[in-house]
């Protein structure tokens, strides 16, 4: 295990050591691989590994348990991940559970079901131990998501994030600099008559849960199309689209190349394809392409927004939700240049305030809102457009 050099002093005055993680998988080999991947980052410590859901519940329920994040396999003997999930959340409310599922349609479907039951996130797991050992992208995503959810939990509790560089015996608060955090936000004027002809949404880390909440609040939309780009692999976007449709009560599917854009439908960018909109008011169509990744992502938000800025101009309402990086910043600049309206999720309610923080601190937003307020805001804006 990688040693953690020093504990930091949290806002509450208690020591804030490394993020504490439990790995649950029926394969001892995979538990070892996941542990080594996680502990390659000195701010993470795997404190417990167990082989099934019942053992995970027992470990979490111990009086001395201080587990913050659980990486939970789905298919296990004795008790599987889906059965264990609600009991884990009941045992320790607030613990973040990240589902580790295979890159299959079944794995994607179960992961989305898990998130509807309270899981925080998912990470698509290669199907063999050899593939897991060699999959650097998978390891990087696993580490990123564990750290993001653990940091979000500590932020709510007023506890400092761990510092990988603190010297032994240091009593200096060690909260890593958070990109955009604390920077001033200057809002643009809200259009007096905001009458959008389309709604676009971009998201990444923490996005699926945020999207579900937004669409549940908005409900069924009949008079304009909705375009969604969520950083997510193929097969997972298929299931995401289905769940968004269920949340909103409207048709929703992965976009198909060349299909006409119609009102009252959600178009989700498929994994590994950029989604753009082509045409004008007479007829608009969706186009998919495999142009190079942008901001290390495909699908990416920027190409979607560039095309929407041309196709819809100032009749666009764009929502930037939680996510790492700054995908969507350049597209938002082009959108606001033609009079479109941008709103973003605020920092306290974001798992990662990267993408929304980038557009907010660049002065591109007309509103920066808590997640709970975004759906009602959008509903009011688009309802006004048909009044």
Pick the catalytic residue: 148, 153, 203, 204? 204
Bridge partner list, 344: 320, 368
Pick the catalytic residue: 26, 197, 327, 346? 327
Cβ density class 100-136: b for 16+ within 10 Å, e for less: bbbbeeebbbbbbbbbeeebbbbbbbbeeeeebbebe
Known catalytic residue at 327: yes
Tokens 């348990």 — which residue?
Answer: 65
Strands of 213-337, DSSP E: 226-230, 252-254, 266-268, 274-280, 283-289, 316-320
Known catalytic residue at 385: no
Known catalytic residue at 204: yes
69: enclosing H helix or E strand: strand 69-73
Cα separation, 99 vs 232, in Å, equals 14
Pick the catalytic residue: 231, 274, 307, 350? 231
Cα separation, 168 vs 340, in Å, equals 51
C-alpha distance from residue 353 to each of 15, 95, 173, 216 (Å): 25, 20, 21, 22
Cα separation, 352 vs 216, in Å, equals 21
Cα separation, 328 vs 350, in Å, equals 16
Cα separation, 84 vs 91, in Å, equals 10
- Mode of pairing for the β-strands spanning 198-203 and 316-320: parallel
Q: So which residues are the catalytic ones?
A: 204, 231, 327
């Amino acid at each position: 295990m990688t040693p953690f050099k020093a504990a930091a002093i949290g806002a509450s005055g208690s020591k804030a050591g490394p993020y504490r993680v439990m790995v649950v998988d029926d394969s001892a080999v995979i538990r070892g691989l996941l542990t080594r991947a996680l502990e390659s980052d000195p701010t993470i410590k795997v404190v417990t590994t167990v082989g099934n859901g019942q053992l995970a519940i027992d470990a979490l329920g111990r009086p001395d348990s201080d587990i913050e994040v659980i990486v939970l396999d789905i298919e296990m003997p004795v008790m599987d991940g889906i059965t264990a999930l609600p009991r884990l959340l009941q045992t320790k409310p607030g613990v973040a559970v990240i589902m580790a599922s295979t890159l299959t349609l079944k794995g994607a479907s179960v992961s989305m079901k898990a998130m509807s039951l309270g899981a925080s996130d998912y990470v698509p797991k290669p199907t063999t131990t050899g593939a897991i050992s060699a999959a650097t992208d998978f390891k990087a995503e696993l580490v990123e998501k564990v750290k993001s959810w653990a940091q979000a939990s500590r932020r709510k509790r007023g506890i400092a994030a761990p510092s990988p560089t603190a010297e032994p015996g240091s009593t200096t608060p060690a909260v890593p600099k958070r990109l955009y955090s604390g920077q001033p936000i200057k809002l643009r004027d809200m259009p007096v008559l905001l009458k959008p002809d389309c709604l676009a949404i971009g998201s990444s880390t923490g996005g699926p849960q945020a999207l579900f909440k937004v669409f549940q609040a908005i409900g069924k939309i009949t008079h304009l199309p909705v375009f969604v780009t969520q950083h997510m692999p193929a097969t997972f976007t298929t299931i995401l689209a289905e769940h968004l449709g269920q949340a909103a009560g409207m048709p929703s599917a992965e976009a198909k190349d060349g299909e006409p854009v119609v009102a009252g439908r959600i178009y989700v960018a498929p994994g590994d394809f950029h989604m753009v909109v082509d045409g004008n008011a007479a007829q608009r169509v969706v186009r998919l392409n495999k142009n190079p990744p942008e901001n290390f992502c495909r699908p990416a938000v920027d190409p979607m927004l560039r095309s929407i800025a041309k196709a819809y101009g100032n009749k666009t309402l764009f929502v930037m939700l939680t996510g790492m990086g700054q995908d969507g910043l350049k597209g938002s600049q082009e959108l606001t240049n033609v009079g479109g309206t941008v709103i973003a999720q605020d920092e306290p309610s974001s798992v990662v305030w990267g993408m929304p923080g980038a557009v907010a601190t660049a002065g591109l937003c007309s509103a920066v809102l808590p997640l709970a307020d975004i759906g009602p805001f959008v509903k009011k804006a688009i309802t006004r457009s048909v009044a």
